[in-house]
């Protein structure tokens, strides 16, 4: 993917505009339908997220802008597709999922850990808008993890499916082979500057005083 | 409309690797600027009642936690009025002037505020930064560090690569993981491999901070480095941390007799969306001063994992060299980066390393990849093992001690094999999944993890869990090695464990010789004062650097 100064400038301008007018878009407590490039995600808030009791559930934890102000990952995987794959991976293993949005941090480790703490099985998945993901477990320290996928430019739809599957296997108490780690030493030179801008934008949608909210998600 | 006619020259240039790199313009509002943001504070200090009551135009009651920590612990209040009264240019001159002793410079620098230090750096061009680094680094003898990792966390490859890295002259080696639960096994491989390749080599395992401390206390690692500090409050808070919690962690290491340094680097704050419009270097100076204030002996910086950010903006690589300089000018050890990919261009990535290579630093690399970059789990280093002969040639071309030594194929194969055999024995003693003779053979002759058959990962992970649960320590490793007849390796692992009792290697910029003797800034202080002073290559070391095995020997013709 090529990005140029114009694109960077546009992203920065959007960030600045939103930072300048933070209260403009206070979240309405009703269903929001966001238009993705290939499909729609329908978000229905269910109130503050509670700790689950289902021992076969995996909590998918997302930052506020996921599937909303952002619609695709850094390599253009649509967020609807990301969720579809993760959900499918979880269901293939006979497990269930719940979706929460975490508002107080844009650190993917803490987002995933927040999900794990609310999960009936103790297993959570955190996914940033640009794609960076973590499979986490309640008992671990926040910056530890079961599996970490730090290089978002290498995460395609297939990897998200495997992330869902493996998280479900952990939820069932299995000890799966970790999703094979992909490594591209040239991802940083190509993407890091852009990732920095995306993260600035991700962080601009945080609400540091707000507790996690559970959503039902429908993908059209 | 007809397609615009293109210049073949420009089309050719656009195909060059440098055009794959991300370059961005400066954007002051979000802090996408290397040095000298108009939002950086203006230097000032006011002291009353033995306390800093104003620093860089900010009143004490308005300090954020970083500013408070720096004001309370990182500024020499006796020195401050005199040092702050000097012009930035005057201080910059002193840093470069061979007639001004290093110790006078470190005294002045410790009396400065963050904004003042950032401005002093902005007075120096890159050649002057190199000169100042040569004079200001803490330890006289330069050194270097390696990354030893595996894309498949293969323990046999790790032990063999660690042995080879130590043989090649890296005085410290760092591992991390592809799968985090492999960590104790990776640490074990480095511990053993390092002592086979060159006894005394220090090893660490970069991971979650509590875990790093735990395996250090167990004697599976000899030092730690990945204790991160940040220049703005929000980034600290995002990580559930404060300068005080980091200082507490540092004291945990010190009290257990373990060497450690902090990590920071330009670009991390803007990368995490919280630079507050300040320049990358100004925020990094805050990090360096937090490290100093916490009483830590050293710092890894030089942008590190965020190098794509300063690497993309004007004067970014100069800022990176400057942050290394600030660290040593505040009298700390520096592990000076060069450890992460930032460019597709071989020319750019070589040039990025030359300031630290020519000047010499405590650790020129804080991770030269001792494996091919596809196995580098720090997402790739600026140099990898496949560049090693280029590096050896550069040492020889410029008569520079870059910390590495030429090795022969035979001796390398021998240490790789011995290390793999020793690990095979230890795995058997511990009841871990067996390492087969075939794996030993493959690791002995391999270049990377693609050359060795995959292991049963879930079984290995059970072993890693067992290692933690059963409380296996460095002493158990010593016993297992000795029981299986590897007495020499056992003795050297024990020698490393003894370091934490004597504590000598807690001194600034310490490394350990093959006999367990510790060199540091205390008994090897940098006394550079112009030509023919400071570090000089010994005749033996120059012979070693000269003799790259593939050079034609005139006497053979």
Which residues of chain A make contact with B22, given a CB cutoff of 8 A? 3, 189-194
Residues 6+ apart with CB under 8 A from B365: B144, B145, B146, B335, B336, B337, B338, B339, B353, B381, B382, B383, B403
Supply φ then ψ for residue B463, to 5 degrees. -65, -40
Cβ contact A183–B22 (<8 Å): no
pLDDT of residue A23: 38
Distance between A142 CA and the closest CA of chain B, angstroms: 9
pLDDT of residue A31: 59
On the question of pLDDT at A209 being above 80, the answer is: yes
Which residues of chain A make contact with B274, given a CB cutoff of 8 A? 203
Cβ contact B379–A185 (<8 Å): yes
Per-domain residue ranges for chain B? 45-123
Report which of B63, B85, B380 is spatially closest to residue B233, judged by C-alpha positions.
B63
On the question of pLDDT at A159 being above 80, the answer is: yes
pLDDT of residue B460: 97
Q: Does A137 touch chain B (CB under 8 A)?
A: no
Q: Let me know if B117 is exposed, middle or buried by CB neighbors in 10 A (0-12, 13-18, 19+).
A: buried
Distance between A196 CA and the closest CA of chain B, angstroms: 4
Tens of pLDDT along chain B (557 residues) come to 678 999 999 999 999 999 998 888 898 988 999 999 999 999 999 999 999 999 999 999 999 999 999 999 999 999 999 999 999 999 999 999 999 999 999 999 999 999 999 999 999 999 999 999 999 999 999 999 999 999 999 999 999 999 999 999 999 999 999 999 999 999 999 999 999 999 999 999 999 888 999 999 999 999 999 899 999 998 888 778 899 999 999 999 999 999 999 999 999 998 887 889 999 999 999 999 999 999 999 999 999 999 999 999 999 999 999 999 999 999 999 999 999 999 999 999 999 999 999 999 999 999 999 999 999 999 999 999 999 999 999 999 999 999 999 999 999 999 999 999 999 999 999 999 999 999 999 999 999 999 999 999 999 999 999 999 999 999 999 999 999 999 999 999 999 999 999 999 999 999 999 999 999 999 999 999 999 999 999 999 999 999 999 999 899 88
Angle, helices B209-217 vs B183-197, to 10°: value is 50
Cβ contact A196–B307 (<8 Å): no
Confidence of residue A36 (pLDDT cuts 50, 70, 90): very low
Distance CA B441, CA B156 (A): 10
Of 2.40.50, 3.30.300, 1.10.3470, 1.10.220, which CATH number belongs to B45-123?
1.10.220
| CATH code for the domain in which residue A131 is found | 3.40.50.10150
Confidence of residue A24 (pLDDT cuts 50, 70, 90): very low
Q: Does B535 touch chain A (CB under 8 A)?
A: no
Judge whether A31 lies within some domain: no
Report which of B373, B364, B270 is spatially closest to residue B312, judged by C-alpha positions.
B270
Judge whether A67 lies within some domain: yes
Distance between B287 CA and the closest CA of chain A, angstroms: 19
CB-CB neighbours of B137 under 10 Å:
31
Judge whether A37 lies within some domain: no
pLDDT of residue A2: 42
On the question of pLDDT at A27 being above 50, the answer is: no
pLDDT of residue A19: 46
pLDDT of residue A17: 55
From the list B22, B180, B305, which residue is nearest A193 (CB)?
B22
Distance between A154 CA and the closest CA of chain B, angstroms: 12
Mean pLDDT for A196-209 is 89
Angle, helices B539-546 vs B388-398, to 10°: value is 130
Judge whether A10 lies within some domain: no
Angle, helices B316-329 vs B346-359, to 10°: value is 20
pLDDT of residue A7: 53
Q: Do A218 and A45 meet the contact criterion of CB atoms below 8 Å apart?
A: no
Cβ contact B208–A143 (<8 Å): yes
Task: Give B 204-243 residues with CB within 8 A of chain A.
Answer: 207-211, 238-240
pLDDT of residue A6: 59
Instruction: Count structural domains, chain A.
Output: 1
Supply φ then ψ for residue A115, to 5 degrees. -65, -45
pLDDT of residue B483: 98
Confidence of residue A33 (pLDDT cuts 50, 70, 90): low
Q: Report CA dihedral (B393, B396, B397, B401) to the nearest 10 degrees.
A: 110
Mean pLDDT for A60-72 is 96
End-to-end CA distance of chain B: 66
Task: Give A 10-69 residues with CB within 8 A of chain B.
Answer: 12, 15-16
Q: Tokens standing for B506?
A: 């807690």
pLDDT of residue B238: 74
Which residues of chain A make contact with B311, given a CB cutoff of 8 A? 189, 192
Distance CA B302, CA B325 (A): 10
How far lies B474's CA from each of B31, B187, B370, B505, in Å? 45, 11, 24, 18
Look at chain B and count its residues.
557
Distance between B355 CA and the closest CA of chain A, angstroms: 20
Distance CA B548, CA B393 (A): 8
From the list A105, A189, A196, which residue is nearest B344 (CB)?
A189
Q: Tokens standing for A151?
A: 């290089």
Judge whether A7 lies within some domain: no
Cβ contact A141–B210 (<8 Å): yes
How far lies A21's CA from each of B36, B264, B275, B304, in Å? 28, 32, 19, 34
pLDDT of residue A84: 97
pLDDT of residue A13: 59
Q: Could you tell me how far CA B98 lies from the centroid of its own chain?
A: 27
Report which of B322, B400, B333, B354 is spatially closest to residue B132, judged by C-alpha positions.
B322
From the list B21, B180, B376, which residue is nearest A148 (CB)?
B180
CB-CB neighbours of B248 under 10 Å:
11
Cβ contact B308–A147 (<8 Å): no
Cβ contact A147–B239 (<8 Å): no
Report which of B281, B320, B329 is spatially closest to residue B301, judged by C-alpha positions.
B320
Q: Do B95 and B103 meet the contact criterion of CB atoms below 8 Å apart?
A: no
Report which of B247, B261, B256 is spatially closest to residue B172, judged by C-alpha positions.
B261
Judge whether A162 lies within some domain: yes
Judge whether A3 lies within some domain: no
Judge whether A20 lies within some domain: no
pLDDT of residue B274: 84
Distance CA B193, CA B310 (A): 35
This prediction has a pTM of: 0.90
Q: What is the mean pLDDT of chain A?
A: 86
Task: Categorise residue B483: left if φ over 0, alpha if ψ from -120 to 50, beta otherwise.
Answer: alpha
């Amino acid at each position: 993917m090529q990005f140029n100064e114009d694109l960077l400038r546009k992203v920065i301008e959007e960030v600045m505009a939103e930072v300048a007018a933070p209260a403009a878009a206070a979240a309405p407590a009703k269903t929001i339908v966001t238009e993705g490039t290939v499909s729609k995600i329908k978000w229905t808030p269910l109130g503050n997220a509670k700790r689950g009791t289902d021992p076969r559930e995996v909590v998918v934890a997302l930052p506020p802008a996921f599937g909303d102000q952002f619609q695709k990952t850094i390599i253009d995987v649509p967020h609807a597709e990301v969720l579809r794959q993760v959900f499918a991976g979880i269901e293939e293993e006979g497990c269930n999922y719940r979706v929460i949005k975490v508002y107080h941090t844009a650190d993917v480790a803490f987002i995933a850990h927040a999900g794990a703490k609310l999960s009936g099985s103790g297993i959570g998945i955190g996914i940033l808008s640009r794609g960076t993901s973590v499979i986490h477990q309640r008992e671990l320290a926040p910056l530890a993890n079961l599996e970490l996928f730090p290089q978002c430019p290498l995460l395609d739809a297939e990897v998200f499916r495997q992330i869902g599957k493996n998280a479900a296997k952990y939820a069932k108490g299995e000890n799966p082979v970790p999703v094979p780690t992909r490594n591209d030493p040239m991802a940083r030179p190509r993407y890091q500057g852009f990732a920095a801008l995306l993260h600035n934008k991700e962080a601009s949608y945080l609400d540091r005083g707000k507790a996690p909210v559970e959503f039902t998600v429908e993908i059209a | 409309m007809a397609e615009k006619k293109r210049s073949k020259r420009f089309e050719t240039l656009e195909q060059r690797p440098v055009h794959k790199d991300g370059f961005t313009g400066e954007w002051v509002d979000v802090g996408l600027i290397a040095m000298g943001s108009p939002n950086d504070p203006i230097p000032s200090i006011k002291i009353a009642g033995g306390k800093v009551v104003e620093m860089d135009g900010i009143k004490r009651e308005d300090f954020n936690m970083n500013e408070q920590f720096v004001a309370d612990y990182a500024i020499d209040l006796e020195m401050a009025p005199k040092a702050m009264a000097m012009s930035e240019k005057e201080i910059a001159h002193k840093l470069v002037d061979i007639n001004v002793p290093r110790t006078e410079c470190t005294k002045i620098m410790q009396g400065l505020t963050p904004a003042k230090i950032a401005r002093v750096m902005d007075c120096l061009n890159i050649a002057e930064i190199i000169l100042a680094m040569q004079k200001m680094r803490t330890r006289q003898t330069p050194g270097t560090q390696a990354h030893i990792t595996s894309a498949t966390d293969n323990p046999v490859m790790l032990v063999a690569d660690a042995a080879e890295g130590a043989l090649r002259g890296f005085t410290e080696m760092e591992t991390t993981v592809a799968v985090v639960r492999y960590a104790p096994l990776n640490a074990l491989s480095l511990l053993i491999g390092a002592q086979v390749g060159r006894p005394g080599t220090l090893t660490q395992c970069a991971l979650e901070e509590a875990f790093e401390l735990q395996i250090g206390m167990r004697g599976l690692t000899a030092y730690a480095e990945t204790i991160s500090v940040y220049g703005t409050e929000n980034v600290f808070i995002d990580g559930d941390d404060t300068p005080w919690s980091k200082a507490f962690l540092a004291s945990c290491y010190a009290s257990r007799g373990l060497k450690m340094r902090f990590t920071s680097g330009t670009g991390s704050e803007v990368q995490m969306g919280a630079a507050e419009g300040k320049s990358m270097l100004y925020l990094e100076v805050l990090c360096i001063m937090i490290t100093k204030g916490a009483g830590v002996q050293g710092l890894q910086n030089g942008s590190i994992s965020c190098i794509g950010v300063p690497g993309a903006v004007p004067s970014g690589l100069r800022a990176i060299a400057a942050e290394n300089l600030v660290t040593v000018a505040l009298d700390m050890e520096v592990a000076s980066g060069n450890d992460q990919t930032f460019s597709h261009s071989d020319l750019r990535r070589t040039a990025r390393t030359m300031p630290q290579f020519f000047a010499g630093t405590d650790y020129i690399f804080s991770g030269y990849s001792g494996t091919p970059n596809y196995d580098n789990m720090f997402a790739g280093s600026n140099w990898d093992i496949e560049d090693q002969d280029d590096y050896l040639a550069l040492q020889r071309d410029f008569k520079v001690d870059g910390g590495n030594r030429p090795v022969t194929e035979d001796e390398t194969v021998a240490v790789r094999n011995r290390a793999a055999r020793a690990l095979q024995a230890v795995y058997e003693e511990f009841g871990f999944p067996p390492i087969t003779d075939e794996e030993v053979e493959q690791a002995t002759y391999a270049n990377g993890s693609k050359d060795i058959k995959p292991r049963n990962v879930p079984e290995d992970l059970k072993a890693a869990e067992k290692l933690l649960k059963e409380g296996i320590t460095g002493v158990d490793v010593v016993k297992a090695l000795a029981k299986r007849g590897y007495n020499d390796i056992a003795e050297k692992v024990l020698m490393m464990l003894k370091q934490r009792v004597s504590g000598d290697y807690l001194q600034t910029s310490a490394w350990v010789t093959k006999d367990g003797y510790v060199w540091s800034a205390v008994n090897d202080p940098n006394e550079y004062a112009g030509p023919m002073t400071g570090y000089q290559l010994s005749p033996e070391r120059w012979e070693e650097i000269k003799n790259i095995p593939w050079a034609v020997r005139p006497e053979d013709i």
